[in-house]
Structure 1
Amino acid sequence: MTAEIFVSQNAGGDENTGGIGSALISGIGENGGGAGRGLVSRIRESYETLTATEREAAQYILGHLTDVLVCNSVELSQLSGVSQPTLSRLYRKLGYANAGEFRRDVRRMHQPGAPEIARTEQCDDLLDDHLRRDEESLRHTFEGIDRGRLECVCQAMAKASRIAVIGFRNSYPVALHLREQLLQLRGNVDILPHPGQSVAEEIADLTSQDVVVVVGVRRRPVFFPRLVDVLLERGVNVVVIGDVSVKSALVGRNVTLFEVDLNSHLLSSFTAAFAFVALLADEVGERLAEAGEVSGRIERINGYFSDIGELEGC
């Protein structure tokens, strides 16, 4: 498997985070958390003087503070759909000397992966808002997939001696779901680390014949980059699934990265991450089915379900 960093050009948060007019001025207090105190106060005080485009930029920023921290000016402009000159004017109107000073203020109070600040103006539309955000996240994620790279990764996973899926914190449920899907298709698929076990012991036997899928969506443990380094040093084929914030943790590292788009209301939605691992498992299954390795395994598993009486309807 050819390993290289792949970064989707379509990644990032949803471009329409909901109205911030009255919601911003009266709905978000000084104790809103994150970068809200300094940034929200400045936007509130300057809101009436902002142009329509500048208000759109402010809206995007409040809903995507993590993107602000991990993206450069060009990337932020592309993600927000707002020109760089408009962003520069907004920074100055908010009292910042330049983009660097603006980012330092955001970094001072916001940790990547923490809940974003933007709130929707119409709370009655919460259901529709969640649906819209998830649809946009799915679209951004799937439009950014390089089909050739996906094919290469899935072929390697189908042929690997062993597959290990690693995830921590919010990444663990995504990693566990991928492992459970793959386990129905082939053997030697594990989720690491096991409860109560150290990572070092779990990866000691991995070799260049294995594939490790590391799920690294927000918020990752501080040792995440070093874990990737150790796996690469052992010659293991490393695939990373992460959101936009993972790019800064992988600089200079020879991995295959698939970027999933997370969106936030009050908390982050991982819909796109689960959808991508479902796609990944299906693609691996297609390769294994072509080799005639799936149907027999599924029949055996179903037979054991029946023998044990483990599931309803067996």
Structure 2
Amino acid sequence: MSELRIEQRIAERQDALSPQERRAAATLVDHLDDLATYRAAELADLAGVSKATMSRLFRSLGYADFDEVRAHLRALREAGEPRRLDGPPDLGAHAEAEGELVRRALAQPRLDDAVALVADAARVTVLGWRSGYPVALHLRQQLAHARGDVRLAPAPGQVLGEEIADLTAGDVAVVLGFRRRPAGFGALLAAVHDTGATVLLVADRTASMHAHHADLWLECPVETRLAFDSYAGAMSLVGVLADGVLSHLGAPARRRAAAISATYARLGEVE
């Protein structure tokens, strides 16, 4: 456990935490970038929990106290996690980091389950916000070649209420939720879950506190040693998911893809 990052420790211990400890853990994750600038009492106030609860959480995560948490974060930065990069980009390091993200993203023990859910659903709604939106757009575009009734939500400039009003049992909602999600993401995910639709969450580890609202969670890392998060792994994962749906559905999906290509040609829509 000592080698794990703090958000990984939280993810592994999530089910064993009390509601108050989960609230404290969510505050830690929300303030990872500047956690070392706080005192333990200030973090407890931010989370709305007691100092004793925050101390219990630290011990549950394998730290003796908050000083050890700070030391752990300093060690991570010293090992290559600066907030900014100086000098020109190291293209070799960039390629290595992207490749590692893709390998980790595709190491999904329940990918076959996710494929079956999406393939067999009465209707699929793909939801994404902020950095998750282009990934959602890509997934919807690919799924639409394999099966019918695939929607993207929310529509630009719209909110969620009208998008999920007709979700029901038999539907699948694929929710893309990477870190720096919009405020209230947990409530949005809970509202989708409450419709009765099956929820497939595709997210990085920082979404662990929301995972209990999902029926299936595909964990997809985005953090690298580089200046910005990378979505190479996320794009690869949703591509493999769509490939799996096409294969799962077999001949009908292949006929649909061929018909779409024929329509492109008839309308002159693509080169």
TM-score, normalised by the number of residues in structure 1: 0.61
Residue matched to 1:49: none
For residues 74 and 131 of structure 1, the distance between their equivalents in structure 2, rounded to whole angstroms, comes to: 36
Residue of structure 1 aligned with 2:189, choices 204, 228, 253? 228
Residue of structure 1 aligned with 2:91, choices 110, 127, 135? 127
Identity of aligned residues (%): 30
Residue of structure 2 aligned with 1:117, choices 80, 83, 88? 83
Question: In structure 1, what residue type is equivalent to 2:264?
Answer: F
Question: In structure 2, what residue type is equivalent to 1:255?
Answer: D
TM superposition shift of 1:153: 2.0
Structure 1's unaligned 5+ residue stretches are 1-6, 12-33, 40-70, 76-83, 89-95, 107-114
Question: In structure 1, what residue type is equivalent to 2:216?
Answer: T
> Quick check: which has more Rg, 1 or 2?
1
Sort the Cα spacing of 1:188 and 1:131 in 2 relative to 1 into closer, same or farther, 3 A: same
Sort the Cα spacing of 1:280 and 1:203 in 2 relative to 1 into closer, same or farther, 3 A: same
Residue matched to 2:140: 179
Residue matched to 1:253: 213
Residue matched to 1:294: 253
Residue of structure 2 aligned with 1:272, choices 226, 233, 256? 233
Three-state SS of the structure 1 residue aligned to 2:252 is coil
Three-state SS of the structure 2 residue aligned to 1:191 is strand
Sort the Cα spacing of 1:36 and 1:197 in 2 relative to 1 into closer, same or farther, 3 A: closer
- Contact in 1 for aligned 2:201/2:217 (Cα 8 Å): yes
For residues 190 and 153 of structure 1, the distance between their equivalents in structure 2, rounded to whole angstroms, comes to: 17
- Contact in 2 for aligned 1:133/1:263 (Cα 8 Å): no
TM superposition shift of 1:37: 9.2
Residue matched to 2:265: 306
TM superposition shift of 1:72: 7.0
Sort the Cα spacing of 1:215 and 1:135 in 2 relative to 1 into closer, same or farther, 3 A: same
Q: Deviations over 1:164-190 (max 9, x none)?
A: 000000100000000000001111001
TM superposition shift of 1:97: 5.8
TM superposition shift of 1:304: 1.1
For residues 293 and 171 of structure 1, the distance between their equivalents in structure 2, rounded to whole angstroms, comes to: 29
Alignment of 1:202-221 (within 5 A): 202-221=163-182
Structure with larger RCO (C-alpha < 8 A, sep 6+):
1
Alignment of 1:164-175 (within 5 A): 164-175=125-136
Alignment of 1:8-157 (within 5 A): 35=34, 98-99=67-68, 117=83, 119=85, 123=87, 126-143=90-107, 145-146=108-109, 149-157=110-118
Three-state SS of the structure 2 residue aligned to 1:226 is helix
Which consecutive aligned stretches of 4+ in structure 1 deviate over 4 angstroms post-superposition?
36-39, 71-75, 100-103
For residues 301 and 273 of structure 1, the distance between their equivalents in structure 2, rounded to whole angstroms, comes to: 25
TM-score, normalised by the number of residues in structure 2: 0.70
- Contact in 2 for aligned 1:134/1:263 (Cα 8 Å): no
Question: In structure 2, what residue type is equivalent to 1:132?
Answer: E
For residues 100 and 249 of structure 1, the distance between their equivalents in structure 2, rounded to whole angstroms, comes to: 23
Sort the Cα spacing of 1:102 and 1:210 in 2 relative to 1 into closer, same or farther, 3 A: same
TM superposition shift of 1:299: 2.1
Sort the Cα spacing of 1:116 and 1:181 in 2 relative to 1 into closer, same or farther, 3 A: farther
For residues 230 and 159 of structure 1, the distance between their equivalents in structure 2, rounded to whole angstroms, comes to: 22
- Contact in 2 for aligned 1:167/1:214 (Cα 8 Å): yes
For residues 300 and 8 of structure 1, the distance between their equivalents in structure 2, rounded to whole angstroms, comes to: 45
Three-state SS of the structure 1 residue aligned to 2:173 is strand
Structure 2's unaligned 5+ residue stretches are 1-6, 12-32, 39-56, 75-80
TM superposition shift of 1:139: 2.1
Q: Deviations over 1:1-32 (max 9, x none)?
A: xxxxxx999x9xxxxxxxxxxxxxxxxxxxxx
- Contact in 1 for aligned 2:139/2:238 (Cα 8 Å): yes
TM superposition shift of 1:219: 1.3
